[in-house]
């Protein structure tokens, strides 16, 4: 079987591209790094790819606001390609800065054109912070109905690092928040080690209801602040612990979900 092709999009200031590509390669995909200029100039196209990844970093220095300038560039230069990509049923993942880009370009939560309805604001601590957090996923093993294809087969509580200064999830209004919940678009919540609601620092940024990641209405576009690519091997775990409930490290399961879905359906 041909390998699933993943486009890891990079631009000035992207800095988690290589380890994100490594994570995809580890689950059998063929991941390629592509500079946004090559897409904008049409030297390269999204057509051949099944998965598009927006990795972490500081695109364009996070000047103005995190992810803002890249989001603006996508809206101005690549809207048609992205719409085509999404409507072909293909997958997108945005991690950290990538999540900020997806949110500010309106690709997430989607469903209302490309209008921005949620944001990732400056952390309540007003500081960049790097720490490991516990997350409760909608895809805990055993649950049959999991909206987000990236979030299946996960342990009840997973453990990933966050590293950001602007990650506080806020919705435009209460209606958007209830819509997200009703549609099952909330994918990850910050929690304590036993899966209960968490306060700072376990909720590292003050996100509303502890929301750490959301998906679009199809469940195929995922954005999250924590870094799954930083926990694809037990060597990256702070105590170098292997996962007790799973054969794989927490982050790797997320990448495997995406690639397996693409293999099956695309």
Q: Which residues are catalytic?
A: 96, 227, 229
> Smallest distance from the beta carbon of 62 to another protein, in angstroms?
8
> Smallest distance from the beta carbon of 265 to another protein, in angstroms?
28
Please enumerate, as own/partner, the contacts of 248-252 that have beta carbons within 8 Å and a separation of 24 or more.
Answer: 250/154, 250/155, 250/158, 250/159, 250/160, 251/23, 251/158, 251/160, 251/227, 252/23, 252/26, 252/27, 252/228
Closest CB to another protein among 155 and 167? 167
Closest CB to another protein among 206 and 258? 206
Nearest Cα to 259, choosing from 16, 20, 91? 91
> Smallest distance from the beta carbon of 58 to another protein, in angstroms?
5
H or E stretch covering 228: none
Query: Residue 142, SS3?
Result: coil
Query: In Å, what is the CA distance from 87 to each residue of 47, 54, 213?
Result: 12, 18, 22
CA 188, 104, 94, 201 torsion: positive or negative? negative
Tokens at 175, concatenated: 């209606």
Interface residues with another protein (CB under 8 A) are 10, 12-16, 18-19, 22-23, 26, 35, 37-38, 56-58, 60-65, 68-69, 72-73, 75-77, 104, 116-119, 121-132, 161, 163, 168, 170-172, 206, 227, 229-230, 232, 235-236, 238-240
CB 118 within 8 A of CB 214: yes
CB neighbours of 1 closer than 8 A, spacing ≥ 6? 263
What beta strand segments (E) does 176-241 contain?
186-191, 211-215, 221-224
> Smallest distance from the beta carbon of 91 to another protein, in angstroms?
21
> Smallest distance from the beta carbon of 143 to another protein, in angstroms?
29
> Smallest distance from the beta carbon of 170 to another protein, in angstroms?
6
Q: DSSP string of 77-113?
A: HSHHHHHHHHHTT-EEEEETHHHHHHHHTT-SS-SBT
């Amino acid at each position: 079987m041909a390998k699933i092709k993943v486009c890891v999009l990079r631009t000035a200031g992207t800095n988690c591209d290589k380890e994100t590509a490594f994570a995809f390669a580890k689950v059998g995909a063929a991941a390629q790094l592509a500079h946004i200029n090559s897409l904008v100039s049409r030297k390269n196209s999204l057509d051949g790819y099944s998965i598009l990844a927006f990795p972490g970093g500081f695109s364009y220095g996070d000047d103005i606001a995190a992810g803002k300038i890249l989001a603006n560039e996508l809206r101005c230069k690549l809207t048609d390609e992205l719409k085509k990509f999404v409507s072909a049923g293909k997958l997108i993942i945005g991690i950290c800065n990538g999540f900020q880009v997806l949110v500010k370009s309106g690709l997430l939560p989607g469903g209302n054109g490309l209008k921005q309805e949620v944001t990732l604001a400056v952390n309540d601590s007003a500081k960049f912070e790097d720490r490991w957090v516990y997350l409760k996923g909608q895809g805990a093993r055993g649950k049959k109905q999991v909206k987000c294809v990236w979030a299946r087969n996960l342990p009840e509580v997973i453990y990933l690092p966050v590293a950001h200064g602007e990650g506080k999830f806020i919705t435009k209004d209460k209606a958007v928040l209830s819509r997200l919940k009703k549609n099952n678009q909330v994918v990850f919540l910050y929690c304590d080690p036993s899966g209960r609601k968490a306060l700072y620092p376990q909720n590292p940024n003050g996100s509303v209801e502890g929301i750490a990641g959301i998906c679009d209405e199809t469940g195929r576009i995922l954005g999250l602040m924590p870094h799954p690519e930083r926990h694809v091997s037990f060597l990256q775990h702070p105590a170098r612990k292997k996962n007790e409930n799973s054969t794989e490290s927490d982050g790797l399961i997320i990448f495997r979900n995406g690639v397996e879905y693409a293999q099956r359906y695309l």
